[in-house]
A = this chain, B = another copy of it.
Amino acid sequence: MSGEKFGAFIRARREAKEIGLREMAKMIGVSPTYVSKVERDEFPPPAEDKIRLIAGVIGCDVDELLARAGKVASDLSDIIKRNPVEVAALLRTTKGLSADDLAWLAREAQKTKDK
Protein backbone atom coordinates (compact mmCIF):
# COMPACT_ATOMS: atom_id res chain seq x y z
CA MET A 1 0.00 0.00 0.00
CA SER A 2 2.09 2.88 -1.30
CA GLY A 3 5.45 2.14 0.27
CA GLU A 4 6.63 5.42 -1.20
CA LYS A 5 8.00 7.74 1.43
CA PHE A 6 6.41 11.11 2.00
CA GLY A 7 9.19 13.16 0.47
CA ALA A 8 9.61 11.09 -2.66
CA PHE A 9 5.87 11.10 -3.16
CA ILE A 10 5.42 14.83 -3.09
CA ARG A 11 8.48 15.41 -5.21
CA ALA A 12 7.09 13.15 -7.92
CA ARG A 13 3.73 14.90 -7.76
CA ARG A 14 5.26 18.33 -7.81
CA GLU A 15 7.41 17.51 -10.82
CA ALA A 16 4.46 15.96 -12.58
CA LYS A 17 2.68 19.28 -12.15
CA GLU A 18 5.76 21.14 -13.37
CA ILE A 19 5.98 23.25 -10.30
CA GLY A 20 9.39 24.53 -9.23
CA LEU A 21 10.71 23.93 -5.76
CA ARG A 22 10.85 27.63 -4.93
CA GLU A 23 7.38 28.17 -6.31
CA MET A 24 6.04 25.38 -4.15
CA ALA A 25 7.85 26.78 -1.14
CA LYS A 26 6.25 30.15 -1.68
CA MET A 27 2.81 28.59 -2.08
CA ILE A 28 3.00 26.74 1.20
CA GLY A 29 4.84 29.48 3.04
CA VAL A 30 8.18 27.88 3.84
CA SER A 31 11.75 28.22 2.63
CA PRO A 32 12.95 26.44 -0.52
CA THR A 33 15.67 24.81 1.54
CA TYR A 34 13.08 23.19 3.70
CA VAL A 35 11.12 21.81 0.77
CA SER A 36 14.30 20.36 -0.68
CA LYS A 37 15.18 18.60 2.55
CA VAL A 38 11.68 17.30 3.11
CA GLU A 39 11.37 15.98 -0.42
CA ARG A 40 14.57 13.99 -0.06
CA ASP A 41 13.36 12.70 3.32
CA GLU A 42 16.24 14.37 5.04
CA PHE A 43 13.76 16.22 7.21
CA PRO A 44 10.58 14.68 8.59
CA PRO A 45 7.27 15.77 7.06
CA PRO A 46 6.11 19.26 7.98
CA ALA A 47 3.34 20.24 10.34
CA GLU A 48 -0.29 19.51 9.54
CA ASP A 49 -1.17 22.94 8.19
CA LYS A 50 1.68 22.78 5.69
CA ILE A 51 0.66 19.29 4.65
CA ARG A 52 -2.85 20.55 3.97
CA LEU A 53 -1.46 23.24 1.70
CA ILE A 54 0.78 20.75 -0.08
CA ALA A 55 -2.19 18.47 -0.69
CA GLY A 56 -3.97 21.39 -2.31
CA VAL A 57 -0.99 22.21 -4.49
CA ILE A 58 -0.25 18.70 -5.72
CA GLY A 59 -3.90 17.75 -5.84
CA CYS A 60 -4.27 14.81 -3.54
CA ASP A 61 -6.47 13.85 -0.64
CA VAL A 62 -5.52 15.55 2.61
CA ASP A 63 -6.21 12.55 4.83
CA GLU A 64 -4.20 10.30 2.56
CA LEU A 65 -1.26 12.68 2.51
CA LEU A 66 -1.41 13.11 6.27
CA ALA A 67 -1.40 9.34 6.67
CA ARG A 68 1.64 9.14 4.44
CA ALA A 69 3.27 11.63 6.77
CA GLY A 70 2.39 9.38 9.70
CA LYS A 71 -0.13 11.85 11.04
CA VAL A 72 -3.85 11.96 11.71
CA ALA A 73 -5.95 15.04 10.96
CA SER A 74 -6.53 17.01 14.14
CA ASP A 75 -10.28 17.23 13.57
CA LEU A 76 -10.40 13.44 13.66
CA SER A 77 -8.44 13.38 16.89
CA ASP A 78 -10.94 15.84 18.30
CA ILE A 79 -13.84 13.63 17.31
CA ILE A 80 -12.23 10.71 19.11
CA LYS A 81 -11.58 12.78 22.21
CA ARG A 82 -15.20 13.78 22.43
CA ASN A 83 -16.33 10.17 22.93
CA PRO A 84 -13.12 8.26 23.51
CA VAL A 85 -14.53 5.00 24.77
CA GLU A 86 -17.25 4.51 22.19
CA VAL A 87 -15.28 5.72 19.21
CA ALA A 88 -12.27 3.66 20.23
CA ALA A 89 -14.48 0.58 20.41
CA LEU A 90 -15.92 1.36 17.00
CA LEU A 91 -12.54 1.87 15.41
CA ARG A 92 -11.06 -1.28 16.87
CA THR A 93 -14.00 -3.21 15.55
CA THR A 94 -13.50 -1.78 12.08
CA LYS A 95 -9.91 -2.92 12.05
CA GLY A 96 -9.56 -5.35 9.20
CA LEU A 97 -12.67 -4.27 7.36
CA SER A 98 -12.32 -3.53 3.66
CA ALA A 99 -12.63 -0.05 2.21
CA ASP A 100 -16.03 -1.05 0.85
CA ASP A 101 -17.25 -2.20 4.22
CA LEU A 102 -16.04 1.04 5.75
CA ALA A 103 -17.92 3.04 3.16
CA TRP A 104 -21.06 1.02 3.85
CA LEU A 105 -20.65 1.67 7.56
CA ALA A 106 -20.31 5.39 6.94
CA ARG A 107 -23.61 5.30 5.05
CA GLU A 108 -25.23 3.52 7.97
CA ALA A 109 -23.90 6.22 10.25
CA GLN A 110 -25.37 8.86 7.98
CA LYS A 111 -28.76 7.16 8.03
CA THR A 112 -28.64 7.06 11.81
CA LYS A 113 -27.85 10.72 11.93
CA ASP A 114 -30.64 11.67 9.55
CA LYS A 115 -33.16 9.75 11.58
Chain A contact residues, CB within 8 Å of chain B: 1, 61, 63-64, 66-67, 70, 72-73, 75-77, 79-97, 99, 101-106, 108-110, 112-113
- What is the predominant secondary structure among interface residues of chain A facing chain B? helix
Complex CA distance for A27 and B19, rounded to whole angstroms:
54
Report copies per complex. Answer: 2
Chain B residue, CB-CB nearest to A95: B79
Q: Which residues of B contact A83 (CB under 8 A)?
A: 99, 102
Least CB distance, A74 to chain B, in whole angstroms: 10
Least CB distance, A86 to chain B, in whole angstroms: 4
Chain B residue, CB-CB nearest to A106: B90
Complex CA distance for A80 and B109, rounded to whole angstroms:
17
